[in-house]
Structure 1
Amino acid sequence: MIIEPPFAKSVAVLDSDRSNLENSRRLLGQMGHVPVLFESAAELFAALLKGARFDLLMLALKDKVAIESWSVVCDKLGLPTILLLRDAQWEILRSIRGDIFAQDEVIKLDSSGLTMLELEWRMHALLRRRRLLAEIPSFSQEKMTWGHYEFSISSHTVRCRGQEIHLPSRQFSLALEIFRNVGIILSRDWLWKNAWKIEFSRNGSRVLDTYIAHLRKKLMLCHDNGFVMQAVYRQGYQLIATDQCIALPANADRVAR
Protein backbone atom coordinates (compact mmCIF):
# COMPACT_ATOMS: atom_id res chain seq x y z
CA MET A 1 0.00 0.00 0.00
CA ILE A 2 1.44 3.36 -1.05
CA ILE A 3 1.11 6.12 1.55
CA GLU A 4 1.15 9.57 0.02
CA PRO A 5 2.99 12.40 1.78
CA PRO A 6 0.99 15.13 3.59
CA PHE A 7 -1.11 16.95 1.03
CA ALA A 8 -1.94 20.15 2.90
CA LYS A 9 0.10 22.32 5.21
CA SER A 10 -1.99 25.40 5.91
CA VAL A 11 -5.75 25.16 6.39
CA ALA A 12 -7.93 28.22 7.07
CA VAL A 13 -10.99 27.40 9.19
CA LEU A 14 -13.93 29.82 9.38
CA ASP A 15 -16.51 29.12 12.09
CA SER A 16 -18.27 31.53 14.45
CA ASP A 17 -18.64 28.76 17.04
CA ARG A 18 -15.50 28.66 19.20
CA SER A 19 -16.02 25.08 20.33
CA ASN A 20 -16.25 23.93 16.73
CA LEU A 21 -13.14 25.92 15.88
CA GLU A 22 -11.27 24.23 18.70
CA ASN A 23 -12.40 20.80 17.50
CA SER A 24 -11.22 21.59 13.96
CA ARG A 25 -7.90 22.85 15.31
CA ARG A 26 -7.39 19.64 17.30
CA LEU A 27 -8.26 17.33 14.40
CA LEU A 28 -6.13 19.18 11.86
CA GLY A 29 -3.20 19.25 14.28
CA GLN A 30 -3.46 15.51 14.82
CA MET A 31 -3.45 15.03 11.05
CA GLY A 32 -0.20 16.99 10.75
CA HIS A 33 -1.65 20.19 9.27
CA VAL A 34 -1.38 23.80 10.42
CA PRO A 35 -4.83 25.30 11.12
CA VAL A 36 -5.38 29.06 10.94
CA LEU A 37 -8.61 29.94 12.75
CA PHE A 38 -11.11 32.72 11.92
CA GLU A 39 -14.28 33.53 13.83
CA SER A 40 -15.66 35.92 11.21
CA ALA A 41 -15.78 36.08 7.43
CA ALA A 42 -14.44 39.63 7.57
CA GLU A 43 -11.24 38.42 9.27
CA LEU A 44 -10.65 35.70 6.70
CA PHE A 45 -11.38 37.99 3.79
CA ALA A 46 -9.01 40.63 5.20
CA ALA A 47 -6.27 38.01 5.53
CA LEU A 48 -6.73 36.96 1.90
CA LEU A 49 -6.60 40.57 0.75
CA LYS A 50 -3.33 41.02 2.63
CA GLY A 51 -1.80 38.13 0.73
CA ALA A 52 -2.32 35.19 3.09
CA ARG A 53 -2.09 31.89 1.26
CA PHE A 54 -3.72 28.63 2.31
CA ASP A 55 -3.68 25.14 0.85
CA LEU A 56 -7.36 24.65 1.69
CA LEU A 57 -10.33 26.42 3.28
CA MET A 58 -12.92 24.96 5.66
CA LEU A 59 -15.99 27.20 5.87
CA ALA A 60 -18.95 26.91 8.26
CA LEU A 61 -21.41 29.26 6.57
CA LYS A 62 -24.91 29.98 7.85
CA ASP A 63 -27.00 31.23 4.94
CA LYS A 64 -27.49 31.14 1.17
CA VAL A 65 -25.92 34.54 0.51
CA ALA A 66 -22.72 33.61 2.38
CA ILE A 67 -22.43 30.27 0.58
CA GLU A 68 -22.90 31.84 -2.86
CA SER A 69 -20.52 34.74 -2.10
CA TRP A 70 -17.70 32.55 -0.81
CA SER A 71 -18.15 30.14 -3.69
CA VAL A 72 -17.35 33.00 -6.08
CA VAL A 73 -14.33 34.10 -4.00
CA CYS A 74 -12.92 30.57 -3.80
CA ASP A 75 -13.45 29.97 -7.50
CA LYS A 76 -11.71 33.22 -8.46
CA LEU A 77 -8.74 32.47 -6.18
CA GLY A 78 -8.61 28.79 -7.13
CA LEU A 79 -8.79 27.72 -3.49
CA PRO A 80 -9.91 24.15 -2.67
CA THR A 81 -12.79 24.50 -0.20
CA ILE A 82 -14.78 22.26 2.13
CA LEU A 83 -18.20 23.53 3.19
CA LEU A 84 -19.36 22.55 6.70
CA LEU A 85 -23.13 22.40 7.19
CA ARG A 86 -25.16 21.65 10.30
CA ASP A 87 -28.38 19.64 10.08
CA ALA A 88 -30.65 22.68 9.94
CA GLN A 89 -28.60 24.25 7.15
CA TRP A 90 -28.55 21.26 4.80
CA GLU A 91 -31.77 22.28 3.07
CA ILE A 92 -30.12 25.55 2.00
CA LEU A 93 -28.32 23.72 -0.81
CA ARG A 94 -31.64 22.79 -2.40
CA SER A 95 -32.28 26.43 -3.31
CA ILE A 96 -28.79 27.09 -4.69
CA ARG A 97 -27.74 26.57 -8.32
CA GLY A 98 -26.00 23.29 -9.03
CA ASP A 99 -22.45 24.59 -9.64
CA ILE A 100 -21.77 25.92 -6.14
CA PHE A 101 -20.20 23.03 -4.25
CA ALA A 102 -19.77 19.43 -5.42
CA GLN A 103 -20.84 16.55 -3.19
CA ASP A 104 -17.33 15.69 -2.06
CA GLU A 105 -16.79 19.31 -0.96
CA VAL A 106 -19.63 19.31 1.58
CA ILE A 107 -19.54 17.76 5.05
CA LYS A 108 -22.82 17.42 6.92
CA LEU A 109 -22.16 17.79 10.63
CA ASP A 110 -24.34 15.92 13.13
CA SER A 111 -24.42 16.26 16.90
CA SER A 112 -21.09 14.42 17.23
CA GLY A 113 -19.33 17.06 15.15
CA LEU A 114 -16.43 16.62 12.73
CA THR A 115 -14.55 13.31 12.63
CA MET A 116 -10.94 12.86 11.61
CA LEU A 117 -11.67 9.96 9.25
CA GLU A 118 -14.20 11.84 7.12
CA LEU A 119 -12.21 15.07 7.14
CA GLU A 120 -9.04 13.29 6.05
CA TRP A 121 -10.87 11.49 3.21
CA ARG A 122 -12.56 14.68 1.97
CA MET A 123 -9.33 16.68 2.01
CA HIS A 124 -7.45 13.94 0.21
CA ALA A 125 -10.11 13.57 -2.52
CA LEU A 126 -10.48 17.31 -3.05
CA LEU A 127 -6.79 18.15 -3.24
CA ARG A 128 -6.04 15.12 -5.39
CA ARG A 129 -8.67 16.19 -7.92
CA ARG A 130 -7.30 19.73 -7.99
CA ARG A 131 -3.81 18.36 -8.57
CA LEU A 132 -4.97 16.11 -11.40
CA LEU A 133 -6.80 18.96 -13.10
CA ALA A 134 -3.66 21.07 -12.96
CA GLU A 135 -1.69 18.24 -14.59
CA ILE A 136 -3.95 17.83 -17.64
CA PRO A 137 -1.60 18.51 -20.61
CA SER A 138 -4.21 20.34 -22.69
CA PHE A 139 -4.60 22.94 -19.97
CA SER A 140 -1.13 24.24 -20.74
CA GLN A 141 -2.48 25.58 -24.01
CA GLU A 142 -3.94 29.01 -23.29
CA LYS A 143 -6.58 29.22 -26.03
CA MET A 144 -8.61 26.62 -27.90
CA THR A 145 -11.13 27.39 -30.63
CA TRP A 146 -14.08 25.50 -32.08
CA GLY A 147 -16.05 27.51 -34.63
CA HIS A 148 -17.39 30.64 -32.92
CA TYR A 149 -16.24 29.43 -29.48
CA GLU A 150 -12.84 30.40 -28.08
CA PHE A 151 -11.85 28.91 -24.70
CA SER A 152 -9.33 30.85 -22.56
CA ILE A 153 -7.86 28.36 -20.10
CA SER A 154 -6.32 30.65 -17.46
CA SER A 155 -9.37 32.90 -17.07
CA HIS A 156 -12.03 30.17 -17.39
CA THR A 157 -13.84 32.22 -20.01
CA VAL A 158 -15.45 31.36 -23.32
CA ARG A 159 -15.87 33.96 -26.05
CA CYS A 160 -18.68 33.52 -28.57
CA ARG A 161 -19.42 36.12 -31.25
CA GLY A 162 -17.72 38.85 -29.21
CA GLN A 163 -19.48 37.98 -25.95
CA GLU A 164 -17.29 36.84 -23.06
CA ILE A 165 -18.78 34.21 -20.78
CA HIS A 166 -17.13 33.38 -17.45
CA LEU A 167 -17.71 29.85 -16.17
CA PRO A 168 -17.04 28.47 -12.67
CA SER A 169 -14.24 25.90 -12.67
CA ARG A 170 -16.47 22.82 -12.75
CA GLN A 171 -18.62 24.17 -15.58
CA PHE A 172 -15.51 25.19 -17.53
CA SER A 173 -13.86 21.77 -17.15
CA LEU A 174 -17.06 20.06 -18.28
CA ALA A 175 -17.56 22.39 -21.26
CA LEU A 176 -13.95 22.00 -22.39
CA GLU A 177 -14.12 18.21 -22.25
CA ILE A 178 -17.37 18.19 -24.22
CA PHE A 179 -15.97 20.46 -26.95
CA ARG A 180 -12.78 18.41 -27.13
CA ASN A 181 -14.99 15.43 -27.99
CA VAL A 182 -17.44 17.08 -30.40
CA GLY A 183 -19.53 14.52 -32.26
CA ILE A 184 -18.86 11.74 -29.74
CA ILE A 185 -21.57 10.37 -27.44
CA LEU A 186 -20.23 10.84 -23.91
CA SER A 187 -21.66 8.73 -21.11
CA ARG A 188 -22.38 10.35 -17.76
CA ASP A 189 -19.84 8.12 -16.05
CA TRP A 190 -17.18 9.09 -18.61
CA LEU A 191 -17.89 12.79 -18.15
CA TRP A 192 -17.59 12.57 -14.37
CA LYS A 193 -14.27 10.77 -14.56
CA ASN A 194 -12.72 12.84 -17.34
CA ALA A 195 -14.06 16.33 -16.64
CA TRP A 196 -13.99 16.26 -12.84
CA LYS A 197 -11.59 13.39 -12.06
CA ILE A 198 -13.95 11.77 -9.57
CA GLU A 199 -15.99 8.58 -9.55
CA PHE A 200 -19.60 8.69 -10.72
CA SER A 201 -21.82 9.17 -7.66
CA ARG A 202 -25.24 7.83 -6.77
CA ASN A 203 -26.87 11.17 -7.56
CA GLY A 204 -24.52 11.85 -10.46
CA SER A 205 -27.12 11.81 -13.23
CA ARG A 206 -29.23 14.56 -11.68
CA VAL A 207 -26.19 16.71 -10.87
CA LEU A 208 -24.71 16.30 -14.35
CA ASP A 209 -28.05 17.05 -16.03
CA THR A 210 -28.20 20.32 -14.08
CA TYR A 211 -24.70 21.27 -15.18
CA ILE A 212 -25.48 20.47 -18.81
CA ALA A 213 -28.60 22.63 -18.64
CA HIS A 214 -26.53 25.55 -17.30
CA LEU A 215 -23.94 25.13 -20.07
CA ARG A 216 -26.55 24.89 -22.82
CA LYS A 217 -28.03 28.21 -21.65
CA LYS A 218 -24.83 30.07 -20.77
CA LEU A 219 -22.95 29.10 -23.94
CA MET A 220 -26.01 29.73 -26.12
CA LEU A 221 -25.64 26.36 -27.79
CA CYS A 222 -27.89 26.49 -30.82
CA HIS A 223 -27.88 25.96 -34.58
CA ASP A 224 -27.01 29.61 -35.31
CA ASN A 225 -23.88 29.40 -33.14
CA GLY A 226 -22.72 26.18 -34.76
CA PHE A 227 -23.27 23.65 -31.98
CA VAL A 228 -26.22 21.94 -30.32
CA MET A 229 -26.21 19.69 -27.29
CA GLN A 230 -28.47 16.68 -27.32
CA ALA A 231 -29.26 14.02 -24.74
CA VAL A 232 -28.88 10.49 -26.07
CA TYR A 233 -31.39 8.16 -24.42
CA ARG A 234 -29.75 5.82 -21.90
CA GLN A 235 -26.28 6.75 -23.16
CA GLY A 236 -25.35 10.31 -22.23
CA TYR A 237 -24.79 13.53 -24.16
CA GLN A 238 -23.47 14.48 -27.58
CA LEU A 239 -22.30 17.88 -28.81
CA ILE A 240 -23.12 18.17 -32.50
CA ALA A 241 -21.48 20.65 -34.88
CA THR A 242 -24.14 22.18 -37.16
CA ASP A 243 -21.76 24.50 -39.00
CA GLN A 244 -20.57 22.76 -42.17
CA CYS A 245 -17.17 24.41 -41.89
CA ILE A 246 -16.46 22.52 -38.67
CA ALA A 247 -15.00 19.10 -39.35
CA LEU A 248 -16.07 16.27 -37.07
CA PRO A 249 -13.45 13.84 -35.78
CA ALA A 250 -13.07 10.53 -37.55
CA ASN A 251 -14.52 8.68 -34.55
CA ALA A 252 -17.66 10.85 -34.32
CA ASP A 253 -20.75 9.05 -33.02
CA ARG A 254 -18.75 6.52 -31.08
CA VAL A 255 -19.66 6.20 -27.41
CA ALA A 256 -17.16 7.19 -24.73
CA ARG A 257 -17.91 5.07 -21.68
Structure 2
Amino acid sequence: MSTQQHPGSAGRPFLTAVVDDDDLRRNALRQRLDRLGHASLVFESSEDLIAALRAGREFEWMMVVLQAGSLQVQLKTMLGLSRAPLLLVALEDSVGILSDIDKSLLNSGRVDVVPLSCSDREIEWRFQLLMQRKTLFPLSGDDLTWGPYRFDKGRRTVWINERRVALKPLEFELALEFFRHTNFLVTRERLYTEFWGGSFDSSKSRRLDVCVSNVRRKLDLDSGSGFFLRSVYGRGYALNEVVPHAGQTTEDAAQMLRSFGTGGAEERASSYGR
Protein backbone atom coordinates (compact mmCIF):
# COMPACT_ATOMS: atom_id res chain seq x y z
CA MET A 1 0.00 0.00 0.00
CA SER A 2 1.09 3.60 -0.52
CA THR A 3 -0.16 7.07 0.26
CA GLN A 4 -0.56 10.42 -1.40
CA GLN A 5 -1.70 13.62 0.29
CA HIS A 6 -3.07 16.84 -1.13
CA PRO A 7 -5.16 19.62 0.41
CA GLY A 8 -8.88 19.03 0.39
CA SER A 9 -11.58 21.59 -0.11
CA ALA A 10 -11.54 22.39 3.61
CA GLY A 11 -7.80 23.01 3.66
CA ARG A 12 -6.90 19.51 4.82
CA PRO A 13 -6.60 16.14 3.10
CA PHE A 14 -9.50 13.71 3.07
CA LEU A 15 -7.77 10.36 3.58
CA THR A 16 -9.46 7.74 1.43
CA ALA A 17 -8.84 3.99 1.47
CA VAL A 18 -8.91 2.54 -2.05
CA VAL A 19 -9.14 -1.23 -2.57
CA ASP A 20 -8.50 -2.78 -5.98
CA ASP A 21 -6.30 -5.68 -7.02
CA ASP A 22 -5.63 -4.25 -10.51
CA ASP A 23 -2.56 -1.96 -10.55
CA LEU A 24 -3.54 0.14 -13.58
CA ARG A 25 -7.12 0.65 -12.48
CA ARG A 26 -6.04 1.37 -8.90
CA ASN A 27 -3.57 4.02 -10.05
CA ALA A 28 -6.22 5.58 -12.31
CA LEU A 29 -8.64 5.84 -9.37
CA ARG A 30 -5.91 7.36 -7.29
CA GLN A 31 -5.24 10.01 -9.92
CA ARG A 32 -8.94 10.86 -10.03
CA LEU A 33 -9.03 11.28 -6.26
CA ASP A 34 -5.89 13.40 -6.51
CA ARG A 35 -7.65 15.76 -8.91
CA LEU A 36 -10.51 16.05 -6.44
CA GLY A 37 -8.12 16.92 -3.61
CA HIS A 38 -8.47 13.65 -1.67
CA ALA A 39 -5.43 11.95 -0.17
CA SER A 40 -5.40 8.22 -0.81
CA LEU A 41 -4.02 5.08 0.76
CA VAL A 42 -4.31 2.13 -1.60
CA PHE A 43 -4.68 -1.57 -0.81
CA GLU A 44 -4.51 -4.59 -3.08
CA SER A 45 -7.16 -6.54 -1.16
CA SER A 46 -10.00 -6.18 1.30
CA GLU A 47 -8.00 -8.23 3.80
CA ASP A 48 -5.18 -5.64 3.70
CA LEU A 49 -7.61 -2.82 4.45
CA ILE A 50 -9.21 -4.80 7.28
CA ALA A 51 -5.77 -5.39 8.81
CA ALA A 52 -5.09 -1.64 8.69
CA LEU A 53 -8.44 -0.88 10.35
CA ARG A 54 -7.75 -3.40 13.08
CA ALA A 55 -4.40 -1.73 13.68
CA GLY A 56 -6.23 1.54 14.37
CA ARG A 57 -5.92 3.25 10.97
CA GLU A 58 -8.73 5.76 10.37
CA PHE A 59 -10.19 6.99 7.08
CA GLU A 60 -12.61 9.70 6.03
CA TRP A 61 -14.21 7.25 3.62
CA MET A 62 -13.48 3.97 1.81
CA MET A 63 -13.67 3.05 -1.87
CA VAL A 64 -13.81 -0.64 -2.85
CA VAL A 65 -13.85 -1.94 -6.42
CA LEU A 66 -16.23 -4.89 -6.61
CA GLN A 67 -14.51 -8.11 -7.62
CA ALA A 68 -15.79 -11.55 -8.54
CA GLY A 69 -16.53 -13.64 -5.45
CA SER A 70 -18.30 -12.85 -2.21
CA LEU A 71 -17.46 -9.63 -0.40
CA GLN A 72 -20.32 -9.88 2.05
CA VAL A 73 -18.27 -10.74 5.12
CA GLN A 74 -15.42 -8.34 4.25
CA LEU A 75 -17.76 -5.39 3.73
CA LYS A 76 -19.54 -5.98 7.03
CA THR A 77 -16.19 -6.27 8.78
CA MET A 78 -14.99 -2.96 7.29
CA LEU A 79 -18.14 -1.17 8.43
CA GLY A 80 -17.87 -2.81 11.84
CA LEU A 81 -14.29 -1.64 12.32
CA SER A 82 -14.75 1.90 11.02
CA ARG A 83 -17.34 4.66 11.09
CA ALA A 84 -16.21 5.75 7.61
CA PRO A 85 -18.79 5.45 4.81
CA LEU A 86 -18.14 3.08 1.92
CA LEU A 87 -18.36 3.75 -1.83
CA LEU A 88 -18.53 0.62 -3.99
CA VAL A 89 -17.23 0.87 -7.56
CA ALA A 90 -18.96 -1.51 -9.96
CA LEU A 91 -17.20 -2.76 -13.08
CA GLU A 92 -19.18 -3.62 -16.19
CA ASP A 93 -18.88 -7.34 -15.46
CA SER A 94 -19.44 -7.04 -11.70
CA VAL A 95 -22.86 -5.39 -11.52
CA GLY A 96 -24.40 -8.78 -10.78
CA ILE A 97 -22.34 -8.99 -7.59
CA LEU A 98 -24.58 -6.33 -6.07
CA SER A 99 -27.45 -8.81 -5.98
CA ASP A 100 -25.40 -10.99 -3.63
CA ILE A 101 -24.84 -8.20 -1.12
CA ASP A 102 -27.22 -7.93 1.81
CA LYS A 103 -29.81 -5.26 1.00
CA SER A 104 -29.70 -3.96 4.57
CA LEU A 105 -26.04 -3.12 3.92
CA LEU A 106 -26.84 -1.15 0.78
CA ASN A 107 -29.76 0.59 2.50
CA SER A 108 -27.87 1.47 5.68
CA GLY A 109 -27.04 5.01 4.54
CA ARG A 110 -23.33 4.26 4.89
CA VAL A 111 -22.91 2.58 1.50
CA ASP A 112 -23.35 3.87 -2.05
CA VAL A 113 -22.51 2.50 -5.49
CA VAL A 114 -21.09 4.10 -8.65
CA PRO A 115 -20.00 2.60 -11.98
CA LEU A 116 -16.31 2.84 -12.83
CA SER A 117 -17.26 4.90 -15.88
CA CYS A 118 -18.83 7.69 -13.79
CA SER A 119 -17.40 11.20 -13.91
CA ASP A 120 -15.15 12.79 -11.29
CA ARG A 121 -18.02 15.12 -10.47
CA GLU A 122 -20.24 12.11 -9.73
CA ILE A 123 -17.62 10.63 -7.37
CA GLU A 124 -17.36 13.92 -5.49
CA TRP A 125 -21.15 14.25 -5.29
CA ARG A 126 -21.46 10.71 -3.90
CA PHE A 127 -18.75 11.47 -1.36
CA GLN A 128 -20.52 14.62 -0.21
CA LEU A 129 -23.81 12.71 0.06
CA LEU A 130 -22.24 9.96 2.15
CA MET A 131 -20.62 12.49 4.47
CA GLN A 132 -23.93 14.35 4.84
CA ARG A 133 -25.67 11.10 5.77
CA LYS A 134 -22.94 10.42 8.32
CA THR A 135 -23.64 13.79 9.95
CA LEU A 136 -27.44 13.61 9.82
CA PHE A 137 -27.77 9.96 10.79
CA PRO A 138 -24.97 9.08 13.20
CA LEU A 139 -24.56 5.42 14.09
CA SER A 140 -26.26 4.19 17.23
CA GLY A 141 -23.54 3.38 19.71
CA ASP A 142 -19.88 3.34 18.84
CA ASP A 143 -19.03 -0.30 18.25
CA LEU A 144 -15.74 -1.83 17.20
CA THR A 145 -15.57 -5.55 16.45
CA TRP A 146 -12.84 -8.14 16.19
CA GLY A 147 -14.09 -11.67 15.60
CA PRO A 148 -16.46 -12.56 18.49
CA TYR A 149 -15.43 -9.44 20.46
CA ARG A 150 -17.51 -6.27 20.28
CA PHE A 151 -16.48 -3.08 22.07
CA ASP A 152 -19.24 -0.55 22.71
CA LYS A 153 -17.20 2.60 23.34
CA GLY A 154 -20.22 4.68 24.25
CA ARG A 155 -21.21 2.33 27.10
CA ARG A 156 -17.66 1.08 27.77
CA THR A 157 -18.94 -2.46 27.45
CA VAL A 158 -17.38 -5.56 25.89
CA TRP A 159 -19.41 -8.42 24.44
CA ILE A 160 -18.05 -11.85 23.50
CA ASN A 161 -20.67 -13.09 21.08
CA GLU A 162 -23.83 -12.61 23.22
CA ARG A 163 -22.06 -12.58 26.60
CA ARG A 164 -21.50 -9.24 28.30
CA VAL A 165 -18.17 -8.88 30.09
CA ALA A 166 -17.73 -6.42 32.95
CA LEU A 167 -14.44 -4.51 32.77
CA LYS A 168 -13.17 -1.65 34.88
CA PRO A 169 -12.63 1.60 32.90
CA LEU A 170 -8.84 1.14 32.76
CA GLU A 171 -9.20 -2.52 31.77
CA PHE A 172 -11.58 -1.52 28.96
CA GLU A 173 -9.14 1.04 27.54
CA LEU A 174 -6.20 -1.36 27.85
CA ALA A 175 -8.11 -4.16 26.10
CA LEU A 176 -9.13 -1.79 23.31
CA GLU A 177 -5.49 -0.73 22.89
CA PHE A 178 -4.44 -4.36 22.43
CA PHE A 179 -7.17 -5.12 19.90
CA ARG A 180 -6.41 -1.99 17.91
CA HIS A 181 -2.84 -3.26 17.57
CA THR A 182 -3.61 -6.92 16.93
CA ASN A 183 -0.50 -8.89 15.88
CA PHE A 184 1.82 -6.07 16.97
CA LEU A 185 3.97 -5.94 20.06
CA VAL A 186 3.10 -3.05 22.39
CA THR A 187 5.93 -2.17 24.75
CA ARG A 188 5.53 -1.86 28.50
CA GLU A 189 6.92 1.68 28.34
CA ARG A 190 4.24 2.75 25.88
CA LEU A 191 1.42 1.22 27.90
CA TYR A 192 2.62 2.64 31.22
CA THR A 193 3.04 6.13 29.76
CA GLU A 194 -0.31 5.95 27.94
CA PHE A 195 -2.40 4.89 30.93
CA TRP A 196 -0.52 6.13 33.99
CA GLY A 197 1.42 9.08 32.61
CA GLY A 198 4.94 10.14 33.41
CA SER A 199 8.08 8.16 32.75
CA PHE A 200 8.12 4.38 32.98
CA ASP A 201 9.29 3.07 36.34
CA SER A 202 9.98 -0.66 36.40
CA SER A 203 9.55 -0.74 40.17
CA LYS A 204 5.88 0.27 39.71
CA SER A 205 5.16 -1.92 36.70
CA ARG A 206 3.31 -4.47 38.84
CA ARG A 207 0.11 -2.47 38.45
CA LEU A 208 0.37 -2.88 34.65
CA ASP A 209 0.95 -6.63 34.98
CA VAL A 210 -2.11 -7.00 37.23
CA CYS A 211 -4.31 -5.01 34.82
CA VAL A 212 -3.12 -7.05 31.82
CA SER A 213 -3.72 -10.28 33.73
CA ASN A 214 -7.29 -9.21 34.49
CA VAL A 215 -7.94 -8.36 30.83
CA ARG A 216 -6.54 -11.72 29.71
CA ARG A 217 -8.67 -13.63 32.22
CA LYS A 218 -11.94 -11.73 31.79
CA LEU A 219 -11.82 -11.79 27.96
CA ASP A 220 -10.59 -15.41 27.71
CA LEU A 221 -7.51 -14.35 25.79
CA ASP A 222 -5.56 -17.47 26.70
CA SER A 223 -8.05 -20.07 25.48
CA GLY A 224 -9.68 -20.99 22.19
CA SER A 225 -11.36 -17.61 21.68
CA GLY A 226 -9.43 -16.88 18.49
CA PHE A 227 -7.14 -14.32 20.13
CA PHE A 228 -4.19 -14.89 22.43
CA LEU A 229 -2.65 -12.20 24.65
CA ARG A 230 0.92 -13.12 25.55
CA SER A 231 3.82 -11.58 27.38
CA VAL A 232 6.98 -10.90 25.40
CA TYR A 233 9.80 -11.21 27.91
CA GLY A 234 11.59 -7.93 28.58
CA ARG A 235 9.54 -6.06 25.97
CA GLY A 236 5.80 -5.90 26.49
CA TYR A 237 2.68 -7.68 25.26
CA ALA A 238 1.26 -8.89 21.96
CA LEU A 239 -2.33 -9.79 21.15
CA ASN A 240 -2.21 -12.33 18.33
CA GLU A 241 -5.09 -13.48 16.19
CA VAL A 242 -4.95 -17.28 16.29
CA VAL A 243 -5.16 -18.77 12.80
CA PRO A 244 -5.17 -22.60 12.85
CA HIS A 245 -3.35 -24.45 10.08
CA ALA A 246 -4.86 -27.46 8.34
CA GLY A 247 -5.73 -30.16 10.86
CA GLN A 248 -5.30 -27.82 13.85
CA THR A 249 -7.82 -26.57 16.35
CA THR A 250 -7.77 -22.98 17.59
CA GLU A 251 -6.39 -24.23 20.91
CA ASP A 252 -3.59 -26.11 19.09
CA ALA A 253 -2.60 -22.90 17.30
CA ALA A 254 -2.71 -20.95 20.58
CA GLN A 255 -0.47 -23.55 22.20
CA MET A 256 2.06 -23.05 19.41
CA LEU A 257 2.11 -19.32 20.17
CA ARG A 258 2.78 -20.10 23.83
CA SER A 259 5.69 -22.32 22.84
CA PHE A 260 7.38 -20.32 20.09
CA GLY A 261 7.95 -17.01 21.84
CA THR A 262 7.49 -13.61 20.21
CA GLY A 263 7.09 -14.59 16.56
CA GLY A 264 6.34 -11.81 14.09
CA ALA A 265 5.09 -9.36 16.68
CA GLU A 266 8.57 -8.60 17.97
CA GLU A 267 9.75 -7.67 14.48
CA ARG A 268 7.15 -4.88 14.38
CA ALA A 269 7.70 -3.59 17.90
CA SER A 270 9.21 -0.31 16.73
CA SER A 271 5.82 0.85 15.42
CA TYR A 272 4.22 0.78 18.83
CA GLY A 273 7.16 1.18 21.18
CA ARG A 274 8.50 4.17 22.99
> Normalized against structure 2, the TM-score is what?
0.44
> Normalized against structure 1, the TM-score is what?
0.46
